Structure 1
Amino acid sequence: MAPAGFASAATDRPHFIGIGGAGMSGIAKILALRGARVAGSDAKDSPTARALRDLGATVHIGHAAEHLAADATRVVVSSAIRADNPETARAAELGIPVVHRSDALAALLAGTRPAAVAGTHGKTTTTSMLAVGLTALGLDPSYVIGGDIDGLLSGARHGGGEIFVAEADESDRSFHKYAPEVAVVLNVELDHHATYASLEEMYAAYETFAAGIRPGGTLVVCADDPGARELAARVRGRAGLRVLAYGAAPDADVRVLGVLPRGQASEVTVALPEDLVGAEAGELAFTVSVPGRHYALNAVAALTAGAALGAPVRGLASALGTYRGVGRRLQPKGTAAGVAVLDTYAHHPTEMAADLEAVRGTAGDGRVLVVYQPHLFSRTRELGAEMGRALALADASVVLAVYPAREDPIPGVTSALVVDAARAAGADATAAPDGDAAVAAVAGMAKPGDLVLTMGAGDVTDLGPRILARLRDRESLES
């Protein structure tokens, strides 16, 4: 039976505006695999759009009223879609419901055992770790993740099992739409300043998210994060809710005893309590195949959530070792002229610092060079100084103009806020007017043994291959 307001798969014809986006394409894929006649539009063609066409979806390039079929059952939008989009206007004329992507995802979760992963940082990584681990165990979960695991559209899967793993977005409060059996909150920090005016507003939003957990369900929180601990204190004792904490803190339920770096991986040792895992209690060591303590903690979050879902925890720990990363999370792009190039989605100062510390541990005697693109004018206004201080962890950085995404410019808010703060912290930071200048600058300074990291949530990700090409050209001329 279809959820209220949504057609059954056989008669469903959803239309996605921005269908190629990370948050939309996965939902479109699952609906297509369930038999819906999926259609949509995007600003430009892309490999993701072409992959959706291969699944039978109709994907238009550009936004125009005529792209919306008259028999569409609903139009799905994200918060990035502006109110004056011609397809939403056409939907209003035709009387076709317009729903947020979170409503579409909530409909997919109906009738399953949902696990929803939230937090200011680490959602995509932790969601993908849990999804990969449960899949490797043969539990056949469905999942929707805001990034690709090992290829186009691999961040979404239509499985036959009961469990559905979903990344829960707090940026626009859309995570309030879900009713998970297990909810994970990795951390709580002030972000998304166009939505939240204070940290207290964020706590209230996370409390509402926790209130949506099904009776008898579990909230998993990081005992090492002050914001997550505060949330746990606020909701602990609520009837029908179990709260589990993980981390190095002495009062953690799943306690991290150690994280040992091993090159591009880490060995993690945890203590498992009997009241959570029964006979599997005791110390457990397992491998996380990505570097950095924060990624190790994400793996422990996935392990704890899996245990709360009833998965065999020692088997899940071994299965987590099959995780090889997710797109744009310290993703290797290649090596040229002895220089390794990686790409990361980090755009909040805490994420930036964590990733820079992780790559510093793998760079050896080489330098860490960063091409950074601030994301959103509102975030840069509030956190630009902290972004600059985070860049001081690099040996040198090149800073691009602010990536606006859905926002209009704010007077006086430019990447100079980041560059000036980085220099004030003693960092070697320069501004680049465009991608061409950034590529030339970082390729010109990189030496054998160095590591280049493209960083940010915008189109800075496109620069990695261009930097590698420039390095190969240089190497060819020098040989």
Structure 2
Amino acid sequence: MNIYFSGIGGVGIGPLAEIAHDAGYDVVGSDREDSLMMNTLQKRGITITTIQDGAFLREQHEKSPIDWFVYTSALPDNHPELLQARELGIRTAKRDELLAHIIKEKNLKLIAIAGTHGKTTTTGMVVWLAKYFGVPVSYSIGTTLSWGPSGRYIPGSEYFVYECDEFDRNFLHFHPYVSLVTSVEHDHPDTYPTAEDYDKAFRQFALQSESLFSWRELAHVFGETDTITYLDEVSPYVRLHGEHNRRNASLVLAALEQFGLPTKYAADGINKFPGTNRRFEKLADNLYSDYGHTPTEIAATLQMARELSDHVILVYQPHQNVRQHEVKDHYTDAVFANAETVYWLPTYLSRENLDLAILSPDDLSKHVSNVIVTDLDDTLWQTINEARAQGKMVLCMGAGTIDGWIRAHL
């Protein structure tokens, strides 16, 4: 089977391309710019172009007919490649449809990790433990890893571990064997206009799961059923930095007991978890990068940073103007309490509602007292290095261009 991935360098599509490659399918693809994911895929021999005018897709189809054209949710309906695929009569699908097809074709049991925050790290913990104890699992994680590929299919594996994202209702295309839900806090207003819409989708996800593990405070979302197990406290065996990491690890340990892995035994592996890229990732001495971009994620990551340093400097790039309209009142001193100074960047724009006014850094930070408005420029880089030289930890957070900007300067 021949599969063309449009947006192959993204954290959702890239791991799926790796899985398809492992499963023996012929894979090619495109993306508009280079990325860590693209570099990883090219090293595995996958042909990728950065020209997305449709000519490369047609050329590949003429060489050997493309069976699936799989595209990212960020691709507009009038994108040249999507139009070309339809003109050529190629089956078009988003990533969830192809993944569901592979899971069914390979007869895999799905272990799904969902939730507003912590999905990537928690998925990484499950996969890490499987590797640690020598259990073969196939998986997909929405980031790059220092200790393995982002996506992998292992022939003969029984389970597929998946970071099951709620955006675009992706997670409702699956019927997991076991689900873990880390948190539920209204997000993605472009998909779920209200908090009730969001909660309703998670309730449906729970109904589609054979069993589900979550936290007691989410009982108001899921209710009480025989298929749901609620945790009330963090496991005393977990010694990771960061309260949110300890909670996520506790959820993993509770779920894996269902597979006969005792908590005390499994904790030995989870306490050695090396983390995932773009989740409190150390890039250099006193310099860290994190994907978090909501008030809850900022507060949690700063709490972990303060466990490691008494002087934390935050550089923050908000993500999506439409999202900022939803969260602007949640930016308070309490969220940023563990930051000595906050350098606030303009919002990274993506999938925007053009009818909404663009909120400035001053608009968003008006309830935060320790803010300096800045830009991604040489002055900021000098400020970062001065803070590092003074022994302060610099934490850079955001899902936009900030991570690539930092790496380019190292």
Both structures adopt the same fold (TM-score exceeding 0.5): yes
Counterpart selection for 2:339 from 383, 389, 394: 394
2:70 maps to 1:76: yes
CA distance in 2 between partners of 1:134 and 1:219 (Å) = 19
Indicate the SS of the match to 2:331. Answer: helix
Matches within 5 A, 1:101-116: 101-110=95-104, 111-116=107-112
Match of 1:61 in 2: 50
Amino acid aligned to 1:245:
Y
- Partners of 1:49 and 1:465 in 2: how far apart? 16
Q: Is it true that 1:156 corresponds to 2:151 in the alignment?
A: yes
Deviation at residue 67 of structure 1 after TM alignment: 1.6
Identity of aligned residues (%): 29
- 1:29-428, aligned counterparts within 5 Å? 29-68=18-57, 69-70=60-61, 71-110=65-104, 111-150=107-146, 154-159=149-154, 160-213=156-209, 217-223=210-216, 226=217, 228-233=218-223, 236-237=224-225, 242-248=227-233, 256=234, 268-269=235-236, 285-288=237-240, 291-335=241-285, 340-364=286-310, 367-389=311-333, 390-407=335-352, 410-422=356-368, 427-428=369-370
Alignment of 1:6-21 (within 5 A): 12-21=1-10
Aligned length: 400
Deviation for aligned residue 1:347: 0.5
Structure 1 gap segments, 5+ residues each: 1-11, 249-255, 257-267, 270-284, 470-479
CA gap 1:148/1:247 in 2 versus in 1, 3 angstroms: farther
Distance in 1, matches of 2:260 and 2:194, equals: 37
User: For the residues of structure 2 that align with 1:311 and 1:172, how far apart are their CA atoms?
Assistant: 34
Asked if structure 2 preserves the Cα contact closer than 8 Å seen for 1:370 and 1:398, the reply is yes
Alignment RMSD, CA only?
A: 1.9
Give distance in 2, aligned partners of 1:244 and 1:445. Answer: 45
Residue 37 of structure 1: how far off its partner (Å):
0.8
For the structure 1 residues 147 and 449, does the alpha-carbon distance in structure 2 shift closer, same or farther, using more than 3 Å as the test? same
Alignment counterpart, residue 391 of structure 2, candidates 449, 454, 476? 449
Q: What is the match of residue 433 of structure 1? A: 375
8 A Cα contact 1:352 1:387, kept in partner: no
TM-score normalised by length of structure 2: 0.92
Shift of 1:412: 3.8
| CA pair 73-333 structure 1, distance change in 2 beyond 3 A | same
Which structure has the bigger radius of gyration?
Answer: 1
Q: What is the CA distance between 1:449 and its match in structure 2? A: 2.2
Give the match's secondary structure for 1:322.
coil
Letter in 1 for 2:130: L
Alignment partners' CA distance in 2, 1:441 and 1:96: 51
Query: How far, CA to CA, are the matches of 1:313 and 1:134 in structure 2?
Result: 14
Q: 1:314 to 1:391 in 2, by over 3 A?
A: closer
Q: CA deviation at 1:465?
A: 4.0
* Residues 1:229 and 1:61: Cα distance change in structure 2 (over 3 Å): same
The C-alpha deviation readout for 1:167-194, integer Å capped at 9, x for no partner, is 0111211100011000111111111111
Tell me the residue number matched to 1:7. Answer: none
Task: List 4+ stretches of structure 1 deviating above 6 A.
Answer: none
> Within 1, Cα distance between the matches of 2:66 and 2:314?
45
Larger relative contact order, structure 1 or 2 (CA cutoff 8 Å, min sep 6): 2
Q: Relative to structure 2, which stretch is displaced further, 404-413 or 112-121?
A: 404-413
Unaligned runs of 5+ in 2: none
* 1:134 and 1:316 in contact (8 A); partners too: no
Q: Deviations over 1:231-269 (max 9, x none)?
A: 231xx33xxx52111232xxxxxxx3xxxxxxxxxxx51
Q: In 2, distance between residues paired with 1:412 and 1:329?
A: 28
Write the distance in 2 (CA, Å) between the matches of 1:406 and 1:126.
27
Amino acid at match of 2:256: G
Residue number in structure 2 paired with 1:458:
400
